[in-house]
Structure 1
Amino acid sequence: MGAPAPVVLIDGRSGAGKTSLTRLLLERWPLEASPQLLALDSTYPGWDGLDAAVDDVTQHVLLPHAGGQPGQWRRWDWTVGEYAEAHGVDPDLPLVVEGSGILTPVTAGLADVRVWVDSPAASRRERALERDGDTYRPHWERWARQEDRHLERDDPAAHATRVVAVP
């Protein structure tokens, strides 16, 4: 059995530019096999679910992938407030995981490329609220507190192989 397919983790606070960077990476993917994309926005179980999603993806996607085993993640249905369908992850294909909270001391050891996207708070807030508007506005501070805990506990920038600054 060969080495596991490469894994890229892209982390940053809300509105930092993770999704835009991920889109560029996928457009310019340098390997023959196209990567699978897992956006954590699809897995967070509600507005208090940053840690739960990262734990779930670590246990059911990243660890199996590293061991050459199929993984699986569940989509969170934000409308009904519960998990919906499951999606498989092929260990033979590259994997890109993008989302706030994904770069931790544990996940860093399971990834080949680890990116931290950094951006000033005012720019991030403007982009995020422009993108998600009134749906996100009442939850901005609540989500930011979870990101604060992630930064304090996990120091994601210290585990990054690349840091991308977005104005």
Structure 2
Amino acid sequence: MAEETISFPDLAARVRALPPSCGPVRVVAVDGPGGSGKTTFAGRLARALDCQVVHGDDFPVPWDEPLGTWFAQVEEQVLGPLSAGEPGGYRRYDWVRGVFAERVEVPVAPVLLLEGVSTARRTAPVAYAVWVEAPRELRLARALARDGAAMEPQWRTWMRAEDEWFAADGTRARADLLVDAAAVPGAFVALGEVGS
């Protein structure tokens, strides 16, 4: 797999050309370990696609279990209705207050992005999976800059759990596109499309 430069408009065109994977919707998963740049990448791709992003961080996830039960909520409240051609929705979890907050509506649309750890799991109805990566210490530094140095023990626990999840699921090996987000925030290098 050779490195290539791919623009967000070109990637959006590739996605739009795919057949739907969840009812009438093309679900694109932006997966990878915490702090790798998934949210930034998904935001830029969503703008190119003019579509909604459902963030894994909108759901309560235990620190020691990236798999957790959170994805069952996505399946029940978002993917299940969309697969039937109906709108979905969920209540966003407010991590600061520790409670569920406003309801987020998810309309039936040509494309929906799922962004977060384990969104490209084997069982998800994904049309296209993007794996975003960066070196471990850079990811940890990004996470602690965002969440505070006091969160380092939780982040190290989370990273070990991620390693186990990704190894068992084979997520990176199944991705359609591998992205190196190590250079600078907001800059991405496509390591290549799988099979190219």
TM-score, normalization by structure 2 = 0.72
More helix by share: 1
Q: Distance in 1 between matches of 2:128 and 2:29?
A: 6
Amino acid aligned to 1:22: A
The structural deviation recorded for 1:69 is: 1.9
Cα displacement (A) at 1:46: 4.8
Residue 92 (structure 1) aligned with residue 112 (structure 2): no
Which of residues 49, 63, 72 in structure 1 aligns to 2:80? 63
Identity of aligned residues (%): 33
Kindly state the Cα deviation for residue 162 of structure 1 after the two structures are TM-superposed. 0.8
Aligned length: 160
2:32 is aligned with 1:12 = yes
| CA distance in structure 2 between the aligned counterparts of 1:145 and 1:62, rounded to whole angstroms | 28
Which of the residues 106, 125, 150 maps onto 2:123? 106
> Does the residue aligned with 2:164 lie in a helix, a strand or coil?
helix
1:132 aligns with 2:147: yes
Between the aligned partners of 1:44 and 1:11, the Cα distance in structure 2 is 17
Q: Which runs of 5+ in 2 are unaligned?
A: 1-19, 183-196
| One-letter identity of the residue aligned with 1:42 | D
Segments of structure 1 that go 5 or more residues without pairing to the other structure are none
Cα deviation, 1:134-164, whole Å, max 9, x if unaligned, reads 3632311221133123212211112211111
CA distance in 1, matches of 2:122, 2:126: 11
Q: Which of 150, 160, 163 matches 2:175?
A: 160
**CA-CA distance at 1:47 after TM superposition:** 3.1
What is the deviation of 1:133?
A: 2.0
Q: Tell me, in whole angstroms, the C-alpha distance in 2 between the residues paired with 1:88 and 1:49.
A: 26
Matched, 1:27 2:47: yes
Counterpart CA distance in 1 for 2:99 and 2:63 is 12
Q: CA deviation at 1:43?
A: 1.1
| Structure 1 residues 75-120: Cα deviation after superposition (integer angstroms, max 9, x where no partner) | 112233232333221123521111112111111xx12221111221
| CA–CA distance in structure 2, aligned partners of residues 71 and 135 of structure 1 | 36
Report the 3-state secondary structure (helix = DSSP H, G, I; strand = E; otherwise coil) of the residue aligned with 1:131: helix
Structure (1 or 2) with the larger CA radius of gyration:
2
Residues 1:73 and 1:158: Cα distance change in structure 2 (over 3 Å): farther
Change in CA separation of 1:139 and 1:166 when aligned onto 2, cut-off 3 Å: same
Structure-2 separation of matches of 1:48 and 1:80: 20
3-state DSSP of counterpart to 1:63: helix
Question: Per the alignment, in what secondary structure is the counterpart of residue 142 of structure 2?
Answer: helix
1:144 corresponds to? 159
Q: What is the root-mean-square deviation in Å for CA atoms of aligned residues?
A: 2.2
What is the DSSP-based 3-state SS (H/G/I as helix, E as strand, rest coil) of the residue aligned with 1:143? helix
Residue 41 (structure 1) shift: 1.0
Mapped to 1, the partners of 2:70 and 2:160 lie a distance apart of: 16
Runs of 4+ in 1 over 4 A off after TM superposition: none
Q: 2:53 aligns with which of 19, 37, 43?
A: 37
